[in-house]
Chains A and B, each alone.
Chain A
Amino acid sequence: MAKKTYDLLFKLLLIGDSGVGKTCVLFRFSDDAFNTTFISTIGIDFKIKTVELQGKKIKLQIWDTAGQERFHTITTSYYRGAMGIMLVYDITNGKSFENISKWLRNIDEHANEDVERMLLGNKCDMEEKRVVLKAKGEQIAREHGIRFFETSAKANINIEKAFLTLAEDILRKTPVKEPNSENVDISSGGGVTGWKNKCC
């Protein structure tokens, strides 16, 4: 018990077309649960999950964005503070896959240059409705030099693995120094003030 809650705080962001399952992916990771009813995210939301990597407690603050175009101006203002971005598409929705290049452009425009990116092809439990081959996802990920997983929030496939891998990649780039989480300002861009670092 004589320990702080976390050593590092990583800000992650989920983006992708509306309905691909960003919120479900996050809900599976944060609460290990799944809900079939589709409720469109209004603007932006976030969840917190603390994980342990290489002996360090890492608090993940994961921002979940609305995929709908009408929230675009609100959501893009959250790109800047993100250290890792998960770009999600739906393997049963060809359009969501075609739009990947659009989302990648958004990242180039609005996010930090050194942001860690990852591509997720979600709903991989629905094999009978698949329209995007796994090889296509792997190919586009390779072209952009980013990691790729096929996931299923419903069947709990690769969800934790994806988040932990992204966190590890960020951790690898993080300069090794005595953890001083007070430097992590999570309020930037997110408008979350008064978070600061916390007692146990």
Chain B
Amino acid sequence: MQGHQHPGEGEEKEELGPENAFEKSPFQLTAEDVYDISYVVGREILKISSEPQGEVPTRVAQLQFKIVRILEMLEALVNESNLTVEELKMERDNLKKEVEGLRKEGPPGNAEQLSLGPDKMIIDLTDPNRPRFTLQELRDVLQERNRLKAQLLITQEELQCYKSGISQREDQAGPMEKESTVCRPSGSSKSNEEKTIIKRLFSFKYGKRI
């Protein structure tokens, strides 16, 4: 109350008196206006109790108008606020439904929305036949396979060589030594590195000849 100036105390011209709060639309009321209304009502009540009895009926009538106006404003505000609450409740329920719907459709919808680049593919990790080795790994396996295949062929040739050697030896005991040396490529140091188990077996069996 203290902060409020009385109309007669020379306030600025633009500022209307506290009575003006009663004229405003209830939806434009501010806290200041409520204080003004409170001030005006208080002043009226004070007048009733302090002034001569003859004045009372007039004063009460004036106060009654003000109280009716206050109740009207209160009614308008309550109606308005109830309406707003209803609207907000409806909005909330709608949003809840929307969220639930999105959650249900969520996972599959998401997978399809995954935007893949032009050169990408999706791999099904549960597919036992899914691709899972790299080209380099395949390359290594193929090289190893072909290396072993080459070694097998070499070994088969060697075996053939020694088989012939044996039959040769059985046929003619004499030139055996010569034959077995010719059997090896002349001047090849590399072939020495290639002593297979078979070769070692034969060298053991036939001594220094091989």
Seen from chain A, the residues whose Cβ lies within 8 Å of a Cβ on chain B are 1-5, 42-46, 48, 73-74, 181-182, 190-200
Q: How far is the CB of A186 from chain B (nearest CB, A)?
A: 8
Taken together as a complex, chains A and B put the C-alpha atoms of A46 and B143 apart, in Å, by 11
The reply to whether A194 and B179 form a contact with Cβ atoms under 8 Å apart is: no
The reply to whether A197 and B188 form a contact with Cβ atoms under 8 Å apart is: yes
Could you tell me the dominant secondary structure of chain B's interface residues? helix
Which among A182, A191, A198, A199 has the greatest number of chain B C-beta atoms within 10 A? A199
The reply to whether A199 and B183 form a contact with Cβ atoms under 8 Å apart is: yes
Q: Which of B90-98, B108-116, B151-159 contacts A (4 or more CB under 8 A)?
A: B151-159
Residues of B contacting A196 with CB < 8 Å? 154, 188, 190-191, 194
Could you tell me the dominant secondary structure of chain A's interface residues? loop
The reply to whether A195 and B157 form a contact with Cβ atoms under 8 Å apart is: no
CB within 8 Å of A: which of B110-153?
Answer: 135, 138-139, 142-143, 146-147, 149-151, 153
The reply to whether A74 and B161 form a contact with Cβ atoms under 8 Å apart is: no
Seen from chain B, the residues whose Cβ lies within 8 Å of a Cβ on chain A are 135, 138-139, 142-143, 146-147, 149-151, 153-154, 157-158, 160-161, 164, 168, 179, 182-185, 187-188, 190-191, 194
Residues of B contacting A74 with CB < 8 Å? 135, 138-139, 142
The reply to whether B153 and A192 form a contact with Cβ atoms under 8 Å apart is: no
* Complex A-B, nearest 9 residue pairs according to Cβ-Cβ distance, in ascending order: A191-B143, A200-B161, A2-B182, A43-B142, A196-B190, A192-B150, A195-B150, A199-B184, A199-B161
